[in-house]
Each structure stands twice: as structure tokens, then as C-alpha cells.
Amino acid sequence: MKHRKIVALGLLCLFGSAVLPLQSMLQREAQAAHFQKTALSINLRERIGQAGFLAALSGFRSPLAALLWIQAHTAWENTEWGRMAGLFETVTTLQPRSLPYWDMAAWHMAWNASIAALQNEKQPSEAIRIRAQRAYIQLGRDFLERGILNNPDRPQLHLQLGVLLRDKVEDHCAAAEEFLKASKYPDAPAYAARFAGYEMAKCPGREREAYDYLRKLYEEGEKQRLPSLINLLRQMENKLDIPPSNRILSDVPNSEN
């Protein structure tokens, strides 16, 4: 029996050594397909505690992230913005490939927390309230930018960053760039390209480029010929003094949409 145990141990070592290159190859293959990229650091260990870290190490990253997300939701109900931000940080570290987590974390920070900070009755100084509001918007932007770095193969977070830059930062040039990036993905929704054009039109110095871009979309056919696009094209044709012969078809009805 003892002899067999030693033989078994020897065979186990042989097998372990032989399978090592296969395991390394499989790991590289998995990482190339965006699997197993989560970095479990000491910093994360401090945030989720020993039991949580052990669970994350044992293949239970996603259930742990879900439980922490519920805690973040409770923190939202209690308007504990700082705690929420910390929990979002942890959840997105645990599940960096999960788009709803990045998206919702950014939305809570840039919309809910920023408005709450601006309307904070306990803070008499308006300057401080505005500064806090900007800090939360920046936090939301950070979430989306890091989400994009972790998900370079998907358009959704570019779209959300475009919306944030458009509505909260009012940086139309940067918003146009994000919508443009989103529109280049094969699975991007059709509105991504239109939004890029709309924002480009508001970007000083890029009006002509925006007109040409929107005109190109218009030429793509009925799918892109929405009232808002047609109206904007008409306005730009007047503004840029486009010759009548080059303008979009005159039989297109004017719309207020």
C-alpha cells in the first residue's frame, strides 16, 4: 500500500508537470477572450474583509458583487453617498466586465449624488456645494472611463459617457467623440451615430464637419431620417449658407421634433 502511494505521488507530480503548459496556454486563451482578468489585490482584501476575499478567490466573485450591490442600494435609500461610492468601487473591482455595475455606479454618482450635494441644506456655502457637485460628476465620469478600459470591446459605456459629458459636463466636443467611438462598434445602436452628429454640431469650429457627417447619415436612408436630424440639417444649411442645389430635398416636411 505504501509503495503504491509513493508511485501515485510520483505519477501525480509527472502529470502536474506535463499539464502545466496546457494550463498556462488555457489561461492566456481565457485572458485573450476577456476572462479571468480581475486583479484581487490587498486593497480589495481590506475593503471586503477576509471572508469576502476568500469567497472571491474561490470563484464566487459574482455572487459577492451582487450582495455588495444590494448593500449599495440600501446605502442609496439612506442617501449615504460616500458609502455608496466605496461599495461601487468594490463591486466594479470584483466584476469589471459587468456593464450594468459601471453604468449604474456612474449614474448614481453623476446624477443622484451630485444633485443631492448641490441641494445639501446642511451646507450654507454655495461654492462648496457646487464643488461637491462637480466632484460627484467627476466620480461618475471616472467610473465610466475605467469601465471603458475594462470593456474595450463594447460600445455601451462610450454611449453613457457621451450622455454624461453632454448633460452633466456640457462638453459637447468630448461628448461627440464618445458617441463617435460608440458608433464605430458593429453592435452599436443607430442613434449613436446621430448623437455624435448632434453633439459635433454644438462643438465650436466643427460645424461644417458636423454638417457633412449628418448629411452622410441622411444619405444612408429612411432609418436615419428622423425629424430631429432633418431639422438640424435645415438649420445648419441656413447657418452655413449651403447653396440651394446642395440642400436636402425640399419636399421633406419641416418638423418640430
Of 87 and 174, the one with the shorter C-beta distance to other proteins is 87
Q: Is 42 exposed, middle or buried (0-12, 13-18, 19+ CB in 10 A)?
A: exposed
Smallest distance, other proteins to C-beta of residue 187, A: 9
Smallest distance, other proteins to C-beta of residue 155, A: 12
Smallest distance, other proteins to C-beta of residue 112, A: 13
Smallest distance, other proteins to C-beta of residue 12, A: 6
Of 5 and 122, the one with the shorter C-beta distance to other proteins is 5
- Residues at the site binding other proteins, with contacts judged by CB under 8 A: 1, 3-5, 7-8, 11-13, 15-17, 19-20, 22-27, 29-30, 33-38, 54, 57-63, 65-66, 69-70, 73, 95-101, 103-104, 154, 189-190, 223
Of 133 and 150, the one with the shorter C-beta distance to other proteins is 150
For 127, half-sphere exposure in the C-beta direction (CA atoms, 13 angstrom radius) is 0
Smallest distance, other proteins to C-beta of residue 35, A: 5
Of 91 and 210, the one with the shorter C-beta distance to other proteins is 91
Q: Is 117 exposed, middle or buried (0-12, 13-18, 19+ CB in 10 A)?
A: buried
Of 37 and 184, the one with the shorter C-beta distance to other proteins is 37
Smallest distance, other proteins to C-beta of residue 154, A: 8
Of 32 and 249, the one with the shorter C-beta distance to other proteins is 32
